[in-house]
Structure 1
Amino acid sequence: MIKKSEKAFQEAVNYIPGGVNSPVRAFKSVGGTPRFIKRAKGAYLTDEDNTKYIDLIGSWGPMILGHAFEPVENAVRKAIKSSFSFGAPTVKEVEMAKLICDLVPSVEMVRMVNSGTEATMSAIRLARAYTGKNKIIKFEGCYHGHGDAFLISAGSGALSLGVPDSPGITPSTLGDTLTAPYNDLDAVKRLLETHKGEVAALIIEPVVGNMGCVLPKEGYLQGLRDLCTKEGVVFIFDEVMTGFRLALGGAQERFGITPDLTTMGKIIGGGMPVGAYGGKKEIMQMVAPSGPMYQAGTLSGNPIAMSAGMAMLKHLKKHPEIYAQLDETGAFIAEGLRKSVKELGLNYTVNQIGSMYSLFFTSEHVVDFKTAKTADIPAFSKYFHQMLNRGVYLAPSQFESLFLSTKIDKRIANKILRASHYSLTSLVEE
């Protein structure tokens, strides 16, 4: 009998490109039919065929407190009673802005937008307006949304599909976008020397989540901060994934680095579509209507999204012990995976920080785009389906970080580790 997810996908491909509204969801890099999800609660997803899965995606990061977290649900229900959108200012936007400025070390002013992509695109335009320069530096394998400049040497879905560069990008965009290997400070120095006085901004995921979870080397982020200060380059942290996840103040709090601008998304909407960019007041005052750099959005600061996000962030602020719990769970799973692959003689690599982690199907120490691409994709694909069959929903790509929530306790973590050990064992036995 055909499953409901299969039937839904067969219909979807007739009306939606590839049958999905975001490419990785199509399962192209792992094969098979995507599961269509109808509900989620806590640590679990339930698909259209009523199959339950432990969720290790968490809507790609924002569900740090698990799905359908009651305070967020209640905030949304209350807000809806006053209508869905006004297209006019609300007190909630001010409250959210104050909360973000209070929590994120580098942010003195903030502008709400509707997605992480919108935030990064706006931050780059703002950096160009502020500096009067045109070029930007990004890093191979880092993904900052689908803006033209960000799809050059991109990670995430572009890498999963085997097309790291997208058609439709103009030669001028290519010329203004400089790329460097992640974790290679000397490469950035060379770019800044070659293009002296031409670089407006450097944008980076402080911990990469879009070629799998990849951590910065000791001193690397501070080295970038120092170079940007010296050369008058706007230093941008893309904290769409790491913001409020690695610490209450994001990766910049965890590593003690202060960027000039920060982009945020996902978690600040409690799962609702939302994003933001913020930073130094002198830079942010360039944004219209305070300054000449134009950026607008009809649904920016949407009252439903603001209500959900404030409920999420206020809970995290009230319960800072959450981060110790997430760190402990992440370390427990990472250590369990390392023990498992060692017992099976597989020599795979596990990267983990806090509630983000990846099991890379390679013996290489994964520190950048080049080493990430050494992963055995067919082996990962088999592992993915073995895990799915055992009730664990992984990101359908080797090149995506996994995310833990507070609802994944030791009991569920042990379920994940048992499923992983059996799945890896089945690969060895093939």
Structure 2
Amino acid sequence: MHNGFTKSASLYGEASRFIPGGVNSPVRAFKSVGATPVFIKNGDGAVITDVDGNTYIDYVGSWGPLILGHRHPAVVQALEKCLRTMGTSFGAPTELETELARLIVEALPAMDMVRLVNSGTEATMSAIRLARGYTGRHKVVKFAGCYHGHADFLLIKAGSGALTLGVPTSPGVPPSTAEHTITAPFNDLTTLKEIFNQIGEEIAAVIVEPVPGNMGVVPPAPGFLAGLRDLTREYETVLIFDEVMTGFRVTYGGAQVLYDIEPDLTCLGKVIGGGLPVGAYGGKKEIMAQVSPAGPVYQAGTLSGNPLAVTAGIATLQELKQPGIYDELEAKSARLDAGLKEAAAAADLELTFNRVGSMLCMFFTGEPVTDFDSACRSDTEQFARYFKAMLEKGIYLAPSQFEAAFMSLTHTTEQIDRTIEAAHASLKEIR
């Protein structure tokens, strides 16, 4: 039985007095689904409980980091020990930083060195600064629908043609900032080659989510990532994989291991912090040697590599290194994916399903979703009705059609089957 959202609604009203929009990150506001945000009281494993006492099977997992589930014993114990015996922050080197760095470097064949930061946004903006400093060039290519954080030069949408000036997507971003960012369609090598044919010698970096998760999950087309690697290598352009979401999520090491592609720089976050704020960027030694204090490209951070975040990250990666972990994640994710497809068919709805490992998405469109434009043809109103119906049945999904769902190792077969049962009922309700 659902208890309603009375306390959540009250807390949202109070929060809106002090926090813009009542939330500290926009999608939490539930605006795209026309609802009031649910305020969470606690989480355990694959279950979260809100302040009204409603429990949910959670497929958000703090937007991806909680691959081990909420309050995993190994992570909690490591954090408790760190608090008791070490502290929270020193602004000075600790042995733990090197341990996490070693784990990351050993897992990614393309990475010789890594610098820890505090967020995915810090990682991507720092990597691009480094690419510009290393190449002496200014222009950057990104792909429509790929999200790389909220740095000014990455909040850019495409102009009307392949080489027209980019357009800021937020007030406060100067047009002069946008002129150095070019936006291309994801999974489209033809357009990318046209861009490089004209201005390839001016492009410092191409940054890409190898598996985008912020327009829903969109797998790379066969040959796309390899073609991207070949093209950037030809023009001596730095290829940056933004694996903030996919790193240690789609497999141990990330999408570059899964697809056997070596970028020049990689950005990480989420899973490597075990649920605490963390980011990282790293890559080839000759490029990373340009980062201050080893080189002239400046980047700093007071809380970078703080003991708590690093401790949670180490504990998480040590768990993920165990044999069979990703086979288990794959089996659970495949079970949910197959069940959702059956539910859509039973409701006589033509929907599109994309999945890479433990990242999955159900698009409310009958067309294949291969890029931002095709994702945007989804019926967002129908998704909003589905989201609310699932929430009422105790299933917590991302409150947006254009976000991934995440499987954790703590989701049980019974919970997955309950989710499929709820989907059967919800899809029939909204048909």
Pairwise same-fold verdict (TM > 0.5)? yes
Structure 2 equivalent of residue 395 of structure 1: 398
| Structure 1 residue 2 displacement after superposition | 7.1
Is the contact made by 2:168 and 2:174 (CA closer than 8 Å) also made in structure 1?
no
Identical aligned pairs, as a percentage? 55
| Structure 1 residue 153 displacement after superposition | 2.7
| Structure 1 residue 339 displacement after superposition | 1.8
Structure 1 equivalent of residue 18 of structure 2: 15
255, 262, 267: which one aligns with 2:266: 262
Question: Which whole-Å CA distance do the structure 1 matches of 2:334 and 2:240 have between them?
Answer: 28
Does 1:214 find its partner at 2:218? Answer: yes
- Superimposed CA distance per residue, residues 2-58 of structure 1 (whole angstroms, 9 cap, x where no aligned partner): 711111000111110000000000000001110000110000011111111000000
17, 23, 27: which one aligns with 1:24: 27
Rate the CA distance shift 1:423–1:164 in 2: closer, same or farther, 3 A. Answer: farther
Rate the CA distance shift 1:331–1:164 in 2: closer, same or farther, 3 A. Answer: farther
5 Å-filtered alignment, 1:142-161, equals: 142-153=146-157
Structure 2 equivalent of residue 282 of structure 1: 286
| Structure 1 residue 330 displacement after superposition | 1.3
Question: Which whole-Å CA distance do the structure 2 matches of 1:344 and 1:310 have between them?
Answer: 44
| Structure 1 residue 173 displacement after superposition | 1.5
Question: Which whole-Å CA distance do the structure 2 matches of 1:253 and 1:243 have between them?
Answer: 9
Is the contact made by 1:330 and 1:353 (CA closer than 8 Å) also made in structure 2?
no
- Superimposed CA distance per residue, residues 206-253 of structure 1 (whole angstroms, 9 cap, x where no aligned partner): 001000000001111000000000011100000001000111110000
Counterpart AA for 2:210? P
* 3-state SS, counterpart of residue 166 of structure 1: coil
Counterpart AA for 1:280? K
116, 123, 128: which one aligns with 1:119: 123
Query: What is the TM-score when the length of structure 2 is the normalising length?
Result: 0.96
Structure 1 equivalent of residue 161 of structure 2: none
Question: Which whole-Å CA distance do the structure 2 matches of 1:164 and 1:371 have between them?
Answer: 22
Question: Which whole-Å CA distance do the structure 2 matches of 1:298 and 1:49 have between them?
Answer: 38
Structure 2 unaligned residues grouped into runs of 5+: 159-166
Is the contact made by 2:330 and 2:358 (CA closer than 8 Å) also made in structure 1?
yes
222, 226, 238: which one aligns with 2:242: 238
Question: Which whole-Å CA distance do the structure 1 matches of 2:421 and 2:356 have between them?
Answer: 21
Structure 2 equivalent of residue 70 of structure 1: 73
Counterpart AA for 1:297? G
- Between Structure 1 and Structure 2, how many residues are aligned? 419
| Structure 1 residue 164 displacement after superposition | 8.4
Query: What is the TM-score when the length of structure 1 is the normalising length?
Result: 0.96
5 Å-filtered alignment, 1:302-381, equals: 302-317=306-321, 319-381=322-384
Question: Which whole-Å CA distance do the structure 2 matches of 1:392 and 1:34 have between them?
Answer: 14
- Superimposed CA distance per residue, residues 251-295 of structure 1 (whole angstroms, 9 cap, x where no aligned partner): 000000000000000111110000000000000010000000000
Structure 1 unaligned residues grouped into runs of 5+: 155-162
Rate the CA distance shift 1:131–1:336 in 2: closer, same or farther, 3 A. Answer: same
Question: Which whole-Å CA distance do the structure 2 matches of 1:295 and 1:196 have between them?
Answer: 27
Question: Which whole-Å CA distance do the structure 2 matches of 1:417 and 1:397 have between them?
Answer: 19
Question: Which whole-Å CA distance do the structure 2 matches of 1:225 and 1:320 have between them?
Answer: 30
Structure 1 equivalent of residue 175 of structure 2: 171
Question: Which whole-Å CA distance do the structure 1 matches of 2:28 and 2:138 have between them?
Answer: 34
